[in-house]
Structure 1
Amino acid sequence: MTSTLKRNPPFRAEHLGSLLRTDQLLEARHAWEAGKASEEDLRPIEDKDVQEIVKTQLELGFHAITDGEYRRHMFWGSFWPGLEGMKEVAEPDPSIFRMYIPDIAAFTEAGYKPGETVICTGKIKHVGSTYTDQFDYLKSLVPEEKTKNLKLTLAAPNWYHLRYKEGQAYPKDVYANDDEYFSDVAKAYQAELKTLYDHGLRNVQFDDPNLACKHQPLILPDPIQQANKYLHTDFCSEAMLTGWKNDPNNTYSADTLLEKYIALYNDCISQIPPDMHVGVHLCRGNFVNSRHFSEGGYDRIATKLFQELSMHTYYLEYDTPRAGGFAPLEHLPKNKNVILGVITSKFPKLENLDEMEGRVREAVKYMCKGSGESEEEALRRVGVSPQCGFASHSSGNAIGREDMVRKLRLVRELADRVWGGEA
């Protein structure tokens, strides 16, 4: 792998893909989902809003432009309809889920049922991309030379596995074990990435809310305090390790599962061409009312995550202390990039530029400690962004559209201050 932040993705100023929808678009989508409007009613509104948000990103000086995920209901939407052997379940039985997984815990501990989900029902086969129309329209809105910078976000491949109790992710008469299941999931991603590459996509970001979380409650000021009193778990958490070990359905350790997920990712991207950039956003969630799903540093999994996962770039959340410190960046190899999510997308208050620049330079010192580079050399592998998207769920969070634009402008200003106006 080679890395550059000057002419190819990733860039000095990034955002994580999802952007706030207009009220008109939300109303139109809700009407369509309720069967009260047709796709012909919805599509012109989507088109108009995508045009406007692309224009906004260009004006703000962003290069890794997305369509805001405006044609999706959730961040993970759009992939599964192109897969034979997968189906959406509108009201899943809660008993199929591992209740200690972050997003499931966030729903159930707040008194909600888990939302719609996607379950394997037969042999998985990629039968066509549902992203190509989205990407083709997006690239029609920018000059041809900017097409290679456009970014498309994809759901993590483990999204179709970790959330479910053992034996619930797929039928045992279809797949004998996880390795067989993962093999076909990887083949589906390989086919998807090839199809998208053939349409001109060169910049992919996987969104993964499950690899890096922590078992701790987050307490925020009212009125959001009550909506955030959950316990969250995962591979960074001793509590999750205990829960996983005590789950009688699990046949191997959480460490083994993490290794399997890394192998799954690597298989998914094993056939990408040399000029396709792939990155992973280690997401802690950003749901309605700016609720997060999880917290905790990257320390426990940093070595495996940075050295064994074959990604070009890591988009990391560093907006609050719940993300932990920068010390894990010592393990980031010289040929990989990091985008530091030091600006929050959850609340409208603007961060102090001096403080944010200081945090970037602090992170770089840890990178140098591990790599032996100079700070100038390490800075070439760094960019900045909000810590998460602004609307992983289409309804958005506790921030307005004008606030979002101010946050994005701040990201650009921070990047210009640190790197002197580089891309």
Structure 2
Amino acid sequence: MTSKLHRGPPFRAEHLGSLLRTEKLLEARHDWEGGKGTEADLKPIEDHDVKEIVKIQQDLNFHALTDGEYRRHMFWGSFWPGLEGMTEVAEPDPAIFRMYIPDIAAFTEAGYKPGETVICTGKIKHKGSTYTDQFDFLKSLVPGDEVKNIKLTLAAPNWYHLRYKQGQAYPSDVYSSDDEYFADIATAYQDELKILYDHGLRNVQFDDPNLAYFCSEAMLEGWQKDKDNIYSADELLQKYIHVYNRAVARFQATCMLVSISVAATSLTPGTSQRVSMFFHVSSDQLTPPLGGYDRIATKLFQELNMHTYYLEYDTPRAGGFEPLQYLPKDKNVILGVITSKFPKMEDEAEMEARVREAVKWMVKGSGETEEEALNRCGVSPQCGFASHSSGNSVTRDDMVAKLKLVRRVADRIWPGQP
């Protein structure tokens, strides 16, 4: 038995947004960033490749189309340049970082400096959207009645806070407390979402690996040992949830779907060949490995005001499906049971069985029928294919094969549904 017809996002077959770039685009962006080319040289290549990747998604019968994040260097890119009071630091002092935060630890252990460092240097104020051009071009490529389905991914509002030691994310003469800082961050996101909503965006996804760090025993142990911290890890997690809830408060009663992707393992092995340039470095460098969602499940599912959760479930490192018993009946989950890290193809029947196992845990907590719980699910790869533009060892052909697999698994479970 299958669930009733499902309309609108989230869809049965989904992906997380970032897709592999062509070599031509990578070379052009490298030249531009190195001062060898101009934006005028880069943009036509971006336009061409965005058109191409949209056509690929349409041909594969995906509906929450993205531009592959082709106009970004990193998955969190684009937001901070639209804010007054934020400054990029080219050569940051290592002393400003919490070295036990998983991505910072992995970079350091590998002998590299952390990725892009942006620090608050003045009062934060939204000064104009850096996403509208991306979105407007994307929506020009689809029929008018499909604009509501296309998806834009946004950076996590905690991205430029957790990685820095207490007191290093902003000057004390600018903000007297984290709460003041977070209030302006939330307001900036409200302003951004309002602009994007007015441009027609109805499907937005926050990409947030940081929330999963609160499941990491290594991170939690480091947190306890850090005498500079003025909160427990649980207290900071609560503050981050509050920031999110303030940021999206205006849109909970609208037709905008607000979702979040939370990677359970967060540092995915093999996601980049150039770890110095990419946040997703080898998880082999993390000991012990990050765990599943168990530790944060109640707060994540019941206190964070998101309609849909994209969760990583491609390996045992992500833990079991037990936390899904805490997912409320009015929320959806996209199960990332297919890996984007390696080209080996998963078995369709095994993937269907995993989805149905997840549904049983949802039913245990909600008391609904399996059919009703299944109606709140979809499938996807566990992560983007190119959270950093350089991607990984998976080829574009591999990526297309994986997306076809996602579509086949979705059709197997929900025949005839988008």
TM-score when scaled to structure 2?
Answer: 0.94
Aligned match of 1:68: 68
One-letter amino acid matched to 2:166:
E
Q: SS state of the match for residue 10, structure 1?
A: coil
Task: Quote how far apart the aligned CAs of 1:241 are.
Answer: 2.4
Task: Quote how far apart the aligned CAs of 1:5 are.
Answer: 8.0
Q: SS state of the match for residue 230, structure 2?
A: coil
| Structure 1 residues 120 and 288, CA gap change in structure 2 (3 angstroms) | same
One-letter amino acid matched to 1:415:
A
C-alpha distance in structure 2 between counterparts of 1:266 and 1:372, whole Å: 27
- The answer to whether the Cα contact below 8 Å between 1:90 and 1:115 also exists between their aligned partners in 2 is no
- The answer to whether the Cα contact below 8 Å between 1:306 and 1:331 also exists between their aligned partners in 2 is yes
- The answer to whether the Cα contact below 8 Å between 2:14 and 2:380 also exists between their aligned partners in 1 is yes
C-alpha distance in structure 1 between counterparts of 2:227 and 2:331, whole Å: 38
Aligned match of 2:371: 376
Q: SS state of the match for residue 211, structure 2?
A: coil
- The answer to whether the Cα contact below 8 Å between 2:216 and 2:290 also exists between their aligned partners in 1 is no
One-letter amino acid matched to 1:22:
T
| Structure 1 residues 343 and 47, CA gap change in structure 2 (3 angstroms) | same
Task: Quote how far apart the aligned CAs of 1:106 are.
Answer: 1.6
C-alpha distance in structure 2 between counterparts of 1:295 and 1:133, whole Å: 37
> 1:355-394 residue pairs with structure 2 within 5 A?
355-394=350-389
- The answer to whether the Cα contact below 8 Å between 1:92 and 1:116 also exists between their aligned partners in 2 is no
> 1:389-400 residue pairs with structure 2 within 5 A?
389-400=384-395
Task: Quote how far apart the aligned CAs of 1:90 are.
Answer: 2.2
> 1:11-30 residue pairs with structure 2 within 5 A?
11-30=11-30
Aligned match of 1:222: none
The structure 1 residue matched to 2:301, chosen from 300, 303, 306, is: 306
1:316 aligns to 2:300 (yes or no) = no
Aligned match of 1:186: 186
1:257 aligns to 2:236 (yes or no) = yes
- The answer to whether the Cα contact below 8 Å between 1:97 and 1:165 also exists between their aligned partners in 2 is yes
Q: SS state of the match for residue 249, structure 2?
A: coil
> 1:63-212 residue pairs with structure 2 within 5 A?
63-212=63-212
Q: SS state of the match for residue 270, structure 1?
A: helix
> 1:232-271 residue pairs with structure 2 within 5 A?
234-271=213-250
C-alpha distance in structure 2 between counterparts of 1:340 and 1:270, whole Å: 25
Q: SS state of the match for residue 114, structure 1?
A: coil
Aligned match of 2:349: 354
Percent of aligned pairs with the same amino acid: 75
- The answer to whether the Cα contact below 8 Å between 1:74 and 1:394 also exists between their aligned partners in 2 is yes
One-letter amino acid matched to 1:194:
K
One-letter amino acid matched to 1:288:
S
C-alpha distance in structure 1 between counterparts of 2:227 and 2:281, whole Å: 30
C-alpha distance in structure 1 between counterparts of 2:376 and 2:201, whole Å: 22
C-alpha distance in structure 1 between counterparts of 2:415 and 2:72, whole Å: 35
- The answer to whether the Cα contact below 8 Å between 1:124 and 1:188 also exists between their aligned partners in 2 is yes
C-alpha distance in structure 2 between counterparts of 1:292 and 1:327, whole Å: 26
The structure 1 residue matched to 2:406, chosen from 401, 404, 411, is: 411
5+ residue gaps in structure 1? 213-233
- For each residue in 1:37-80, what CA deviation from the matched residue of structure 2 results, as whole angstroms up to 9, or x when unmatched? 01000000000000000000000000000000000000111000
TM-score when scaled to structure 1?
Answer: 0.92
One-letter amino acid matched to 2:111:
G
C-alpha distance in structure 1 between counterparts of 2:143 and 2:33, whole Å: 33
C-alpha distance in structure 1 between counterparts of 2:43 and 2:199, whole Å: 21
Give the stretch that moved more between structures: 284-293 or 31-40: 284-293
C-alpha distance in structure 1 between counterparts of 2:18 and 2:5, whole Å: 21
Aligned match of 1:228: none
The RMSD of aligned alpha carbons is 1.2
- The answer to whether the Cα contact below 8 Å between 2:107 and 2:281 also exists between their aligned partners in 1 is no
C-alpha distance in structure 2 between counterparts of 1:115 and 1:158, whole Å: 15
Task: Quote how far apart the aligned CAs of 1:292 are.
Answer: 4.8
C-alpha distance in structure 2 between counterparts of 1:292 and 1:137, whole Å: 34
| Structure 1 residues 236 and 138, CA gap change in structure 2 (3 angstroms) | same
- For each residue in 1:294-347, what CA deviation from the matched residue of structure 2 results, as whole angstroms up to 9, or x when unmatched? 631100110111000000000000000000000000000000000000000000
- The answer to whether the Cα contact below 8 Å between 1:91 and 1:116 also exists between their aligned partners in 2 is no
Task: Quote how far apart the aligned CAs of 1:6 are.
Answer: 1.9
Q: SS state of the match for residue 385, structure 1?
A: strand
Task: Quote how far apart the aligned CAs of 1:421 are.
Answer: 2.4
- The answer to whether the Cα contact below 8 Å between 1:91 and 1:115 also exists between their aligned partners in 2 is no
Aligned match of 2:272: 288
- The answer to whether the Cα contact below 8 Å between 1:5 and 1:381 also exists between their aligned partners in 2 is no
Runs of 4+ aligned residues of structure 1 deviating over 6 Å after TM superposition are none
Q: SS state of the match for residue 341, structure 1?
A: strand
C-alpha distance in structure 1 between counterparts of 2:43 and 2:336, whole Å: 32
